[in-house]
Amino acid sequence: MGTLTSSRKSSRLPRMVYGLTIDQKAMRSFSLANDPPWIPPTNLSAEELEEWWMWRSPTLWLHVITYCTSEFQLPAVNGLTFVWDGDERKPVVPLVDSYETTAIPSDEEVAEVAKYMHQEGQRAKWYQVTFA
């Protein structure tokens, strides 16, 4: 872990967030615990159930991010924030926005957010934000 040296004034550096990516399995668990109207019908086949969840993924990502942002007073970077994790784009719950600060939260604070997201044990790290 560490800090960045970027600031809003230095527009040449990419926007970074220190955050937790949203895991599909945990997102579904979070949704079942927090969004009762979004419980899937019981009569779906395994394939239909997977399609049901995939169709709702963008909305559920927003729910996880919105709930966490509100519950923990986290920075709202761009509504639904995507980051590069290697070559893959993933939604993330931002804990720190490099345009605002580079001070990272304690391991205990990160663990509290991860637990709330149903992703206990996940560690936050710095990611480059992608807006495309």
- Residue ranges of the domains in the chain? 16-130
d(C-alpha 79, C-alpha 61), whole Å: 10
Reading the block at residue 100, the tokens are 């605002």
Can you tell me the mean pLDDT for 30-45?
82
According to the model, what pLDDT value does residue 2 have?
58
Measure the CA–CA gap between 84 and 21, rounded to whole angstroms.
10
Cβ atoms 29, 118 nearer than 8 A:
yes
Dump pLDDT digits (tens) for 58-116: 888 888 888 999 999 988 776 678 898 888 899 999 999 988 888 999 999 999 999 99
Measured CA angle at 96 (ends 91, 100), to 5 deg = 120
The residues, any chain, with a CB within 8 Å of residue 22's CB and separated by 6 or more, are 61, 64, 65, 90, 91, 92, 93, 117, 119
| Summary mean pLDDT of the chain | 85
From CA 5, how far away is CA 47, in angstroms rounded? 47
pLDDT of the residue at 132? 44
